[in-house]
Copies of this chain bind each other. A is one copy, B any other.
C-alpha cells in the first residue's frame, strides 16, 4: 500500500488520516471520511490569510532576533551597522514552530481551549519569544520590551546577546515549562502537565531530532497511563523538518507507511500534514487541527459522560515541512532551505559580504513587514486579532507558571505515625514502611484537589510504600486481566519502568503547580542525573525571576540503597547521585539521610512542605534499629546534626574521640562499634555525632544550611580524631569539610566500589565500614588505648575471620551480628 512517496511531498500539501478499524477508538464523522487525500479545507480563506500574516510576522521577528542590532522595521535600507557582530541562533526549527503557534492561536480561540505550548526541538527560542511578544505577554512581563519600534529593537538585541536570553524556550520566556536545551523530555513534561488537569490541552512539538533520544522514544507510551475523564490531553505534533545539526533524522527517512505504523503501534492515530506551499499548508494544518481537537473533545466527552475510560487512540499530528522554511533557498550556491545547512545561521557573513547583507534584507522584506506592523511597530490589529486574549494566550496561561496555581498540601501530623521507642535500638519494620502510612494519608487528605502523586519505576511496593495502596491504586489504562492487582483507570501512583518517564512526568506535574514524590532505587536514579541537572538549573534561573512563582520541591526518596543491595549485587550498588546533586546551586539542593523512621517522618514532612528545592532523601526499607523518640527526632532533624548524648559517654565536653555517622546503616554500625568500645575500653570517652542534613557539614558561606565554624568545632572538636561512617562515597565528606578546623583529623569510611553478592553485614565489611573496622580505626588513631586497645584490635580481626567463615558456610550473617541490639553499658 504505497500510498505515499516521501520524496515527492514538497510540491504540494497533504493532510491524511487513515481511519482505524477498532472499537476502542471514537472517530468523528470527519475522520471517517478521510481515507482520501484532502486538500480542501473548511476554514475560511480570509482566516487562512490572517494565519499567514501572523506567521510572517513571527518569522520576521525571528530573523530579526538572530540578525538585527538596529533598524528593526527596515524603515531604511539595511546597513552593516544594523547587523549584530556575533551571529548566534538557530533558524532551522523556527519557521515550523511559528507556523504551529499561529495555527494554535486560531484553534484556541475557535474552541476556547485552555492550552499551553511545549517546544521540544532545540533552539526554538526565536519562535516562542517572538510569538509571546506578538500576543502581548512578553511586554507585560518585560515592559522595556514594548510593542513598538524601540521595544522591537531591544527584543532583537537581547537574543543570544550578553545579559540577554538564550536560544531555547528558557525560563525567561513566558508560557514555557520546558527549556529543551537538553533534548528528549518534551512529551514527558507534557503528560506531567495534563495529569489531573482535565481541561488542559498541551500542544507538544516533538522535534524529529529529539525523537531519536531514548526518553522521547518511550514517552509515546505515556498514553497508557492517561485517563480521558480525569486528565487533560496531549496533542503531540511531530515536526519532521528532516534534519538535526548535520545529519538527516531517522523518522524523516523511513517509509511513510513505517512512520504511520510506528505511531499507531505507540497507540496514536496520526494525521499527516505535509508540504511546503504556504497557503496550501495553512489549509491542511487548519483542517488537521480541527480534526485533532474534535477527536480529543469527542474522546473526552464520551469518557466523561459515559464513564467508559477504555484507552482511546488519541490523535497526533505529523507535520512535515522544510527545515528553514521561507528562509534563503541557496547561499553561495549551497542549498539551504530544506537541508541541514539551515540549522543555525544561514547567512553567516552579512557584515563583511555585501551580497549576504543584500540577501538578508531581501529575506526580511519577503515577509512584507510593512503589511504586518504599523508605523509605530505594533502588529496591526486585524492580524493580532488571530491570537486569544488574557490568560488564554499561551504565554499567559497560568499552568505555565505553575506556582500561581499551587495549593498548599493538606498535611497530616507526621508525629502521629511515630514509632514507639520501647528501648533504644528496638527493631523497626523498615523506615520507609512507616513513612508509607504518612504518604498514604497525604494522598487521602488531598484527594479532593488531586494535586499529589507518587511516581516510580515499578518499585513503590519494593521500596516499602505499600501503605499507599490502602487508599489508591496505580493509574493504568492499558489492558488488564483478572489476576492483576492494584491497577485502576484512576490512581495516585504512576509506575512505568523508565526512570526518565517518572522524572519527566513529575517535573511536568510540579511545573504546573502540583506536588509529588519520586521513589527510586539509589543506584538507578543516576539514569536521570542529566534531567536532575536541567531541573536544578531551571529552578535556579526561575528563582531569580520575580514573576515566576515558586513551585513545590522535587522530592526523591531513594529507598533501596547501596548498603542493602547485597542480594542484587554490584550493579545495584552506587550511592553517587548525591555527588551529582551537591554540584548544583546551594540555594536549590538539599540532601537528607535520616537514621531511623521517626527522623524520616520529620524529614519527609519538611520536604513535602518546602518550595523550589530538590530534596534527596536516602532511607532504608529493611527492618532496622530505631533510635529516637518522635520528640527527639523532631529536634534532631530541625538541627540537622547533633550529639547523641545517650550513645556517647563523655562526661565533660572533652571526648577522646568523635564517632560520627550519616545514613541508617552507618549509624547502626557506628553504634555497634561504640557499644563494643564501651564494653572493652570503658575509660574511653566517646562522643557520637549523627548527621541528618548533609549540607550542615558545608561552611555557612557555601550553603544556607551550613554550620558556622564555631558550631562545627563545637561538635567535631578542634583536635580530636573523628571516625566518620558515611553512607556514600567517602570523599564527599572531605569535599564538604575540607575548610573546617579539624579536617585533618576526620577519617571517613564509606562505599568504595567493593561489593558483590553477599550478606547485609558483609557489604559493610567489604568496604571497611563495619563495626569491627570502626573499632580498629579508633584504636589505630588512639595509641593511648595501649595494650588493652591492641588486644581489642586483635579480637576484632578474629571476629572478621569468624564472620567470613560463617557466611561462606551459612549464607547469612552470624547471629551475634544479625541479632545485635543496642544496650547501654555505662
Contacts and interface: CB of A to CB of B under 8 A. Distances in A.
Contact of A479 (B253, B263, B497, B569): B253
Nearest to A338: B483
Interface string A525-536: 011011001100
Interface string A440-462: 00000000000000000011011
B7 A481 contact: yes
A183 B458 CA distance: 13
A88 interface: yes
A474 B246 CA distance: 11
A580 B529 contact: yes
A181 B500 contact: no
A166 B568 contact: yes
A796 interface: no
Contacts of A267: 254, 258
Interface string A468-498: 0000001010111101111100000001111
A677 interface: no
A360 B593 CA distance: 41
A181 B570 contact: yes
A213 B458 CA distance: 12
Interface stretch (A404-412, A716-724, A755-763): A755-763
A497 B527 contact: no
Interface stretch (A130-138, A614-622, A804-812): A804-812
A86 B262 CA distance: 45
Nearest to A461: B246
Interface in A516-545: 523-524, 526-527, 529-530, 533-534, 537, 540-541
A210 to B, nearest CB: 7
A277 interface: no
A221 B214 contact: no
A250 B584 contact: no
Name, among A85, A249, A264, the residue most crowded by chain B CB atoms within 10 Å (CB to CB): A264
Given A478-B254, A571-B179, A458 B812 contact: no
Interface string A202-243: 000000011011111111010010000000000000000000
A602 B156 CA distance: 45
Contacts of A537: 570-571, 753
A530 B500 CA distance: 12
A460 B255 CA distance: 27
A757 B218 contact: no
A6 interface: yes
Nearest to A170: B569
Contacts of A328: none
B258 A264 contact: yes
Interface stretch (A603-611, A643-651, A730-738): A730-738
Nearest to A743: B738
Interface stretch (A72-80, A100-108, A157-165, A419-427): A157-165
Contacts of A217: 214, 217-218, 221
B216 A214 contact: yes
Contact of A212 (B259, B497, B729): B497
A479 B21 contact: no
A496 B569 contact: no
Given A247-B458, A262-B266, A498-B213, A526 B529 contact: yes
Contacts of A49: none
A163 to B, nearest CB: 5
A826 interface: no
A729 B579 CA distance: 11
A462 B247 CA distance: 11
A576 B583 contact: yes
B264 A250 contact: no
A168 B812 contact: no
Contact of A458 (B84, B246, B265, B339): B246
B734 A738 contact: yes
Contacts of A253: 224, 478-480
Nearest to A574: B533
B497 A209 contact: yes
A248 interface: yes
A135 to B, nearest CB: 23
Interface in A678-734: 729, 731-732, 734
A569 B181 contact: yes
A794 interface: no
Given A498-B212, A753-B584, A571 B182 contact: yes
13 contacts: A6-B479, A168-B569, A181-B568, A182-B523, A213-B498, A224-B254, A245-B462, A247-B474, A248-B487, A249-B497, A253-B480, A339-B483, A537-B570
Given A69-B811, A210-B497, A254-B267, 7 more contacts: A1-B21, A162-B811, A163-B758, A213-B218, A218-B218, A247-B487, A529-B529
Interface of A: 1-2, 6-7, 21-22, 69, 84-86, 88, 160-168, 170, 179, 181-184, 209-210, 212-219, 221, 224, 244-250, 253-255, 257-267, 335, 338-340, 458-459, 461-462, 474, 476, 478-481, 483-487, 495-498, 500-501, 523-524, 526-527, 529-530, 533-534, 537, 540-541, 567-572, 574, 576, 579-580, 583-585, 729, 731-732, 734-735, 738, 743, 753, 756-759, 762, 807-808, 810-812
